[in-house]
Structure 1
Amino acid sequence: MDCRPFEITLIGAHDIKDVNTFSKMDVYAAVTVSGAGVRKQKLRTPVHKDGGTSPKWNHTLKFTLDDAALVSDRVKIKIKLVSDRTFGPTKIGKAVVPAKELLQSEKANGEKPVSYLVVTPKGKTKGSVSFGYKFGEKFSAPLPVQHEAHKKAHEPVMAYPAGHAGSSSAYPPPGVAHPVYQPYPPQPQPGYGYPPQQQPGYGYAPPPQAGYGYPPVVQPGYGYAQKPQKPKRGGGNMGLGLGAGLLGGLLIGDMVSDVGDMGAYDGGYGDGFDF
């Protein structure tokens, strides 16, 4: 590929639009070389502090242009003037110059400085920018290497039928059973309808709490077990009364028998004493 060096020296600007309200503008120039099928290049000048509406730079920027694109008038040179402000850069205006036009002017007039009008963002003409330029001799350069990701994006992709060894499909071929997911059984948790697990201790475990869905369990204690008592019915008092009555009758009968025996003993003792 045939290329040509290009140098542009930004001299300064004159009577450009003032985009600052209270302070003097700090202005710099940004130069962009671009076009259809042309690699975009961008460089800028230093900032001229307090340059105001007539900043000065005298700064040279160097580019490399595709000669075929240059001759076919596909290369544009854009010179943007920018005010460097505290709250962000502000556009002042720009001048767009065809690179082929500069090449022809150089052949006719030599390396003389030129001036181009500056157009504001609203499309109005305000001020001008001056610069000098120079084209170098053509030279051959290797073609630019394409980026690896860009090359892979355009490479053909080989497709394989289903079940092929080189297929990248994640699905099994027809006829192969799919694995069935088997969930794990739930683990019993205390307090949700499962019997609590006994913990080793000193021979005594606390009685289970009512209301959890399982019957009370007799736990080993200190050598005895407590039998559950049946609830008492209304006939319990009657049985107790009958038992008490029978016991009282037996006691009274014994007392009467004892009195009889004492009387008989007293009578017999008297009879015997009279002999």
Structure 2
Amino acid sequence: MECRKFEITLIFTIDLENLHRLCKMKVYARISLGNDPNTEKGTPIDQHSKTNPVWDYSMSYVIEESMVQHHGTMVVINLYCKRKLRDRYIGKGNVKSQGALKFSFRFRDKFYIDKLLLAESIRAWSHSAD
């Protein structure tokens, strides 16, 4: 099976709406490929920057070449504010009405991998991401 390594670095966001009036916002992001929960990975929580969180945090995936060629494949970046009782959803990177999100990504060279090995690798990486 033809695959590529996909690397994404979430750098920062600016001008998020302040959801905590009395204390600092603690923002983190959850990234998935095409809303597939099996591919979800997260950034650390930014403890210092309030409405302008900075992560400069990289994640990588092994994806099938067909996902690169298919224009409907989407990277979903959901932002959350850490809270004591339940984290609050802030918004998606691709539809947020206030603020800006900066990230970078790249695709590495193609390589071939056995389907069974790919499935085992994805399962192992998704469990180690948390």
**TM-score, normalised with respect to structure 2:** 0.81
Match of 2:101, SS state, is: strand
Q: What are the superposed Cα offsets for residues 99-139 of structure 1, whole Å, 9 maximum, x if unpaired?
A: xxxxxxxxxxxxxxxxxxx51xxxxx110110111110111
1:68 is matched with: 66
3-state DSSP of counterpart to 1:69: helix
* Pair 1:142-2:114 in alignment: yes
Q: In 2, are the aligned partners of 1:13 and 1:129 still within 8 Å (CA)?
A: yes
Q: Does 1:83 align with 2:58?
A: no
Matches within 5 A, 1:176-195: none
Relative to structure 2, which stretch is displaced further, 38-47 or 16-25? 38-47
The structure-2 alpha-carbon separation of the partners of 1:39 and 1:26, relative to structure 1 and needing over 3 Å to count, comes to closer
Name the CA distance, whole Å, in 1 between partners of 2:64 and 2:73: 8
Q: Which has the higher helix share?
A: 1
**Contact (CA 8 Å) 1:34, 1:40: kept in 2 or not?**
no
Contact 1:12 1:56 in 2 (8 A): yes
Q: Tell whether the 8 Å contact from 1:18 to 1:92 is kept in structure 2 after alignment.
A: no
The question of 1:22 aligning with 2:4 is answered: no
Q: Which amino acid aligns with 1:66?
A: E
Amino acid at match of 2:2: D
1:150 match: none
Q: Report SS of the residue matched to 2:40.
A: strand
Query: 1:47 deviation in Å?
Result: 0.5
Question: Following the alignment from structure 2 to structure 1, what is the Cα–Cα distance between the partners of residues 68 and 103?
Answer: 19
TM-score between both structures, scaled by the size of structure 1: 0.40
Q: For residues 62 and 69 of structure 1, what CA distance do their matches in structure 2 show? A: 15
Query: CA-atom RMSD, angstroms?
Result: 2.0
Q: Does 1:129 align with 2:115?
A: no
Tell which structure's C-alpha radius of gyration is larger. Answer: 1
Q: Which has the higher strand share?
A: 2
Report the counterpart of residue 91 of structure 2 in structure 1. Answer: 93
Offset of residue 39 of structure 1: 8.5
Inter-partner Cα distance in structure 2 for 1:51 and 1:32: 24
CA change 1:39–1:15 in 2 (3 A) is closer
Q: Which whole-Å deviations, capped at 9, do the CAs of 1:146-184 have from their partners, x for residues lacking one?
A: 8xxxxxxxxxxxxxxxxxxxxxxxxxxxxxxxxxxxxxx
Q: Considering Cα pairs closer than 8 Å and 6+ residues apart, tell me whether 1 or 2 has the greater RCO.
A: 2
Question: Any unmatched runs of 5+ in structure 2?
Answer: 120-130
Secondary structure of the structure 2 residue equivalent to 1:11: strand
Change (3 A) 1:80 1:39: closer
- Residues 62 and 79 (structure 1), Cα distance of their counterparts in 2 relative to 1, 3 Å cut: same
